Amino acid sequence: MKKVYIYACVFLLASSAQAQTARRNLAERYFGLLDYTAASPIYNELARKTVKKSGKGRSADWEVVRKAAQSEFYTRDYGKASAWYQSLVNGKAAVADDYTMYFEALRYQGKYDEAAAVLRDMKAQGHELGTLKEYERNLNYPVYLMRDSTRYTVKEMPFNKGLGDFSPAYYEDGLIFVSTRKSQALMSKYGWDNTGYLNVYYARPKNGEYRKKAKLQKKELKTREHDGPVFFSKDNRQAFITRNRTEKDVRKGTIVNLSLYIAEKGTNGKWSVPQPFAYNSAVYSVGHAALSPDEKTLYFVSDMPGGQGGTDLWMCRREGNGWSAPQNMGKTLNTEKDEMFPFVADDGTLYYASNGLAGLGGLDIFESRAGSNGFMAPLNMGYPLNTKADDFALITRDNKTGYFSSDRRGYTDRVMGVEMRRVVLEVEGTVSDKDDPAKKLGNVQVVLRNKTLGDSTVVYTDSLGNFTFPLLKDCDYEIAGTKENFDLVTPATLSTQGKNTSEVLRADLQMEDNTLPRERAYRMLFVVKDCSTGNPVPNAEMSVKEEGGNEKKFYTSNAAGEIEILKTEPVVQGEALQPKQWKYIIENTGAGFFPETKKMAFEFGNTEPGAEKRKEFVLNKDVCFNPIRENAVFELKDIYYDYNKATLRPQSMVELDKVYDFLKRNPQIKVQLSSHTDSRGSDSYNLSLSQRRAQSCVDYLIKTKGISAESLVAKGYGETMLANKCANGVKCTDEEHQANRRTEIRILKVQ
């Protein structure tokens, strides 16, 4: 009996496992067919069991949780999708794509703060933000977009059936739109979200007002291949039809792609058989066509190679009866995610939908105005045209009234009408050469930084140096530019705060050619040397003052005894160079040398040294100072007394203050401060006068300045040590006698 019980249990477990495997295989089959409606309940059942297992510490199959989240996301149950993605995060099983879709699911619900938290967690876990980098730059952008709800009046069109109506197009005097409403001619369903396959309908206003009735479009434009958006030329004689492949193609393993077909209306009023666009492909999509106002350019959507990622906006130019090779519209308009549903108004403004640019959630509608150098950076058109749901396929001829699609009510597409009160703000500018303002600079990278929102936009100047940016209301901006071999002089600033009417602002930039010399450098080098040996003196402390100036600067010589003085002046292009001269008073202020003052002049001619970026002139000169040694004698130049007196004059005290500084820097020395007279007067008197004068100097230093008496000796020599021949009885000039009247310092001892 026990064995029978065990066998029964094993059989039941095996049967349960087999059943679960079968259920999973069925879910995977539905998922592969894009039938997320059928796959969703099975994956939900399997995911609940997986999460329950993980809660008990058992191994979990997180892939079924991921598929449950994706199925709910694609069927637009973003609340359930968010819950499953949170389970992946809690289970440490979330990968970068899970975080990305979790972020999007929360934004679809208008939970912007929670979405920002997911973004921060994603970054903290070390995942690359990828397509979410655009949102990271300004997580508060949704608040800005919703600040002004008076810009648009939005109303639902009466011909909606609530079953999926979208992508309006102007046709004759009414609107063509796409609908999933069922008809007797088409009863199949599109598995993605359990809606009917697409058909084209026509609504026509009566007395200027649209009514509830819309008519299934004529047979010539309808097929069972999921006809999508249609665009008509202005004369309504050319139709651009977007078509999908059928489900049979999918079952054979073929990827579902969009294809573009073109039909012509004949003179008999009948449409021709739609012909495939020359650039359709079995391996990528082409669709969502629109023409420029002059109908010479065709815009469309494709995920063909050479794009930025996802579906991009592309363009072709009309060439005879055909179209030029497709050209991607670049990173200014396209992102790594999806751009679609282009339309160009009569003034050249491009409208399109994107889920890769920062917005309120899902697809948002953006406008890109026509500038001098192509389309400008796109601007999110804001609330309530855009919402947390998908908003797309805006058409407007005059930028005042139009129609668009939205699934804001229960995630079912509806055609909406809109009245727009746009405030168009732009900034225009030109980048020129500062040295030659008439020279305009092309291919300058100009960066518009929104200081209010924290994001930046980049454009390049055209061949005439012009640039244009669209601006948002109530924001402060800074504009800068970069170009090889040029430096920006000053960024431009501007503000749109409080501007409620359309306006074009002006902001010009100037740049300098940094390959041209901007300044001349006059480099004056002097080498401090020992007068007794001629050797350079390192670490010599000097004060330098420009002659006639008041500012004194202090320098210390380098290992080679060098001190450098640098003067610069701006170079004015075309201005002749003039000779330059600078004169300096240099004083030794360091220890080990006597405080002497030297004068030095540097003269520069009018010959340029070359065309370097920084023109440099260099002159070298030597200046020597006398070192401290025993019995060395130094003369004090400016010690003055009243006639026949020993009283110091105020200017003499300035010179003695230098002696004080010298003694403080060199406390190891003992000096004799001596006074000398000329030969006029008696020898005894002159000897007595000189002694009194020497003593007055010593007394000043000891009593007033606080120098130790042991460091100073006063000695009067009278006329016993004349400096020249002017002895008693010799006729001399006053200048010659003055040379003998002097005060000196003699180094008596160096400890």
pLDDT at 573 over 90: no
pLDDT at 658 over 50: yes
Q: Tell me if 334 sits within 8 A of 328, measured CB to CB.
A: yes
Sort residue 253 into left (φ over 0), alpha (ψ -120 to 50) or beta: left
Give the bridge partners for 316, in sequence order.
298
pLDDT of residue 676: 92
Q: Helices H, strands E: what count in the chain?
A: 12, 46
Q: Express as a percent the part of the chain with pLDDT over 70.
A: 89
pLDDT of residue 589: 85
pLDDT of residue 138: 67
Report helix angle 96-108 to 62-74, nearest 10: 30
Q: Tell me if 415 sits within 8 A of 157, measured CB to CB.
A: yes
Q: What tokens were used for 687?
A: 């000897």
Mean pLDDT of 262-289: 92
pLDDT at 366 over 60: yes
The rounded distance, in Å, linking the Cα atoms of 119 and 104 is 10
Among 61-65, 132-136, 163-167, 346-350, the range scoring the smallest mean pLDDT is: 132-136
* pLDDT category of residue 496 using cuts at 50, 70 and 90: very high
The rounded distance, in Å, linking the Cα atoms of 724 and 740 is 7
Mean pLDDT of 465-469: 94
Among 148-162, 212-226, 735-749, the range scoring the smallest mean pLDDT is: 212-226
Report pLDDT digits (tens) over 400-434. Answer: 999 999 998 877 899 999 999 989 999 999 999 99
pLDDT of residue 192: 45
Higher-scoring residue by pLDDT: 565, 251 = 565
Which of 149, 86, 115 has the alpha carbon at shortest distance from 358?
115
Higher-scoring residue by pLDDT: 305, 116 = 305
Among 104-113, 185-194, 474-483, the range scoring the smallest mean pLDDT is: 185-194
* Strand (E) or helix (H) holding 114: helix 112-124
Domains of the chain, first to last: 26-139 (1.25.40.10), 152-420 (2.120.10.30), 425-513 (2.60.40.1120), 519-571+578-625 (2.60.40.10), 633-750 (3.30.1330.60)
Mean pLDDT of 535-553: 90
* pLDDT category of residue 243 using cuts at 50, 70 and 90: confident
The rounded distance, in Å, linking the Cα atoms of 319 and 324 is 6
pLDDT at 719 over 70: yes
pLDDT at 501 over 80: yes
The rounded distance, in Å, linking the Cα atoms of 441 and 483 is 9
pLDDT of residue 215: 86
pLDDT at 716 over 80: yes
pLDDT of residue 278: 96
Q: Tell me if 542 sits within 8 A of 588, measured CB to CB.
A: yes
pLDDT of residue 12: 40
* pLDDT category of residue 184 using cuts at 50, 70 and 90: very low
Q: What is the DSSP string of 612-665?
A: -SEEEEEEEEEEEEPBP-TT-EEEETT--B-TT--PBPHHHHHHHHHHHHHHHH
DSSP type of residue 331 = T
pLDDT of residue 265: 92
pLDDT at 437 over 50: yes
Q: Tell me if 509 sits within 8 A of 479, measured CB to CB.
A: yes
pLDDT of residue 83: 95
pLDDT of residue 131: 74
Among 123-137, 600-614, 720-734, the range scoring the smallest mean pLDDT is: 600-614
The rounded distance, in Å, linking the Cα atoms of 613 and 516 is 5
Return the amino acid letter for 702: I
pLDDT of residue 250: 42
Mean pLDDT of 103-126: 90
pLDDT of residue 148: 86
pLDDT at 259 over 70: yes
CA-angle at 572, arms to 568 and 575, nearest 5°: 115
Greatest mean pLDDT among 7-21, 170-184, 685-699:
685-699
Mean pLDDT of the chain: 86
How many residues in total does the chain contain? 751
Measured between alpha carbons, how far is residue 195 from residues 71, 163, 187 in Å? Answer: 15, 7, 10
pLDDT of residue 129: 80
* pLDDT category of residue 216 using cuts at 50, 70 and 90: confident
Give the bridge partners for 555, in sequence order.
542
